[in-house]
Amino acid sequence: MTEEFKITDLPGVGAATAEKLAEAGFHTLMSIAVATPGDLVEASGLGEATARKVINVAREKLDLGFESGESLLRRREQIIKITSGSKNIDALVGGGFETGSISECFGEFGSSKSQIGHVLAVRTQLPREEGGADGAVLFIDGEGTFRPERIIQIAQALNLDPQQILKRIKVARAFNSDHQMLLLEKCEKLIREDNVKLIIVDSLTSHFRADFSGRGQLADRQQKLNRHMHAMMKLANNYNLCVYVTNQVMSRPDMFFGDPTAAIGGNIVGHNSSTRIYLRKGKKGTRVAKLIDSPHLPDGEAVFEVYEGGIRDA
């Protein structure tokens, strides 16, 4: 890509149009090159023919071909692994929750999905040498689960200033699926300005489940959920940040053997989440984390417990 080439150098894109595109999240040539004409029309008011031309020129200016495994390995070396405070869980996920990807924890009510989210919201702010990412946190709260009091407890256990920790966690309550999607679409400015390294969505599917009920709306729900997951993946990739989502479960009456619980969202959520963890209650107040899916890690289980200072090995 030519270094001097700017978005305003694209045909039909002046300063005002570039500003509209930036507001909609199109800050780079890459973001425009991978967009659809409809995306640009909606974001900027350009005509469809002009939008197509803009996308084509952006693609010409970028090298969108294959890259070597060696360069991918170098990119993998930039990944940060955020510790959970439990050696068992960290070992299960390959050393910690990775930036550049989506990690999903699903389980029944009370299985500690939100607890892990609160722990990560504090530990992400630790220096890298202490298992953090030295970054801020965005928390999209779909079910009213965020508790500043819990953040204070965890911060104090780590000898951190609770007020400073709370300042670096930006919380937004989502009231329906459209609102949830919009919050994610509009957060790029915050990510850049505040060095955000973790986005938490708790819960990913609750609003989609409520807004699209019945089999007749299943296709629409899955299509919107897919768009939402792709937006998360794009942010994780572009800004090398960790996306942690929690998910609800449903009972499968057709399962006669094994655990009948399954995550909501089906293959759409499963295929977009790099790491999937199933949480359930264990013996004597413990919790069990089972790695269901990962591109490079073997299946396994970790036993942990929740305590005032966060989570620890049981």
Alpha-carbon distances of 197 from 100, 101, 139, 271, rounded to whole Å: 9, 11, 11, 22
- Give the integer Cα–Cα distance in Å for 306 and 117: 12
* Coil vs helix vs strand at 86: coil
Sign of CA dihedral 122, 126, 128, 133: positive
pLDDT digits (tens, 9 = 90+) for 280-294: 999 999 999 999 988
Confidence band, pLDDT 50/70/90 cuts, at residue 1: very low
Residue carrying the six token digits 């803009």: 54
Q: What are the structural domains, with CATH classification, of the chain? A: 7-61 (1.10.150.20), 74-313 (3.40.50.300)
| Strand stretches in 45-116, DSSP E | 81-82, 97-98, 101-107
Work out the average pLDDT over 125-139.
97
Q: Is the pLDDT of residue 253 over 90?
A: no
Tokens at 243, concatenated: 């996306």
Q: Is the pLDDT of residue 2 over 50?
A: no
Among 125-139, 162-176, 200-214, which is the least confidently predicted range? 200-214
Average per-residue pLDDT for the chain? 89
**Exposed/middle/buried for 313, CB within 10 Å: 0-12, 13-18, 19+?**
middle
- Give the integer Cα–Cα distance in Å for 2 and 10: 13
**What DSSP line would sit under 151-215, residue for residue?**
HHHHHHHTT--HHHHHHTEEEEE--SHHHHHHHHHT-HHHHHHHTEEEEEEETSSHHHHHHS-SG
Confidence band, pLDDT 50/70/90 cuts, at residue 185: confident
Total H helices, total E strands in the chain? 14, 13
- Give the integer Cα–Cα distance in Å for 75 and 263: 31
Tell me if 116 sits within 8 A of 84, measured CB to CB.
Answer: yes
> Which value, in Å, is the radius of gyration of the alpha carbons in the chain?
21
* Coil vs helix vs strand at 139: strand
Bridging pattern class, strands 169-173 and 136-141: parallel
| Contacts (Cβ under 8 Å, ≥6 apart) of 189 | none
* This model's pTM is above 0.85: no
**Residue that wins the pLDDT comparison between 274 and 103:** 103
E strand or H helix at 74: helix 69-76
